[in-house]
Chains A and B, each alone.
Chain A
Amino acid sequence: AQSVTQPDIHITVSEGASLELRCNYSYGATPYLFWYVQSPGQGLQLLLKYFSGDTLVQGIKGFEAEFKRSQSSFNLRKPSVHWSDAAEYFCAVGAMNTGFQKLVFGTGTRLLVSP
């Protein structure tokens, strides 16, 4: 069965500093990988996705993520964090044998942005 690990529960970053959120997955085949962001009281917004091809994917709001098969990782990065990026971030994996509609999520990383 697939699983996702986000080792950092909380991360605090200064505004303007760079950000990297870690995500490791467990899945027997090439996974479909996603990053979502959730602001308080809101649903999940898709930041970016990896299906195949170029292992560096660009998303919305200046985010990017890199798929590294050898490390089973899909880390999210942003070169310069803005105060509005404070939210909870979820990494998720979809599996081919369920038509990819059954997403398995990590436990999330809460990002705090200090002035």
Chain B
Amino acid sequence: KAGVTQTPRYLIKTRGQQVTLSCSPISGHRSVSWYQQTPGQGLQFLFEYFSETQRNKGNFPGRFSGRQFSNSRSEMNVSTLELGDSALYLCASSLGGTGGDQPQHFGDGTRLSIL
């Protein structure tokens, strides 16, 4: 069974640009969550999508947005990039039930560097 696939693996952008990251979950998983990992702030939850609806949201500005498609693939968009957005962006998928007994499985991340 293929794992969580994130593309691209590396991105270099300049301030003010926007970027779109992609995540393909494990087959059959309906929940996709996004996390930002930085040396200073650690791992922080961005948002979670389930059945094309945002179900949970972290404490990030509106420049960070996402969506999920009917095949459960998800994209994350960051507009008006700032230097502080440089980070490893991790996507995780799970079956997504509310029972909680379905752990999240992570992709290898997209490393975003802002110049």
Contact = CB atoms under 8 A, between A and B. Distances in A.
Interface residues of A, number: 26
Given A101-B56, A103-B45, 11 more contacts: A32-B100, A41-B108, A43-B90, A44-B90, A46-B103, A99-B48, A99-B100, A100-B100, A103-B92, A103-B104, A105-B43
Contact of A101 (B90, B104, B105, B106): B104
Contact of B103 (A43, A49, A90, A98): A49
B73 to A, nearest CB: 17
Given A34-B103, A51-B100, A108-B42, A102 B108 contact: no
B88 to A, nearest CB: 9
Nearest to B99: A100
Contacts of B68: none
A90 B43 contact: yes
A63 interface: no
22 contacts: A32-B100, A36-B106, A42-B108, A43-B4, A43-B107, A43-B108, A44-B90, A46-B104, A46-B106, A94-B100, A96-B100, A99-B48, A99-B55, A99-B56, A100-B99, A101-B56, A101-B104, A102-B45, A103-B43, A103-B45, A103-B92, A107-B42
Interface of A: 32, 34, 36, 41-46, 49, 51, 90, 92, 94, 96, 98-108
B12 to A, nearest CB: 16
Contacts of B6: 43
Interface string B75-99: 0000000000000001010101111
A102 B6 CA distance: 19
Contacts of B33: 101-103
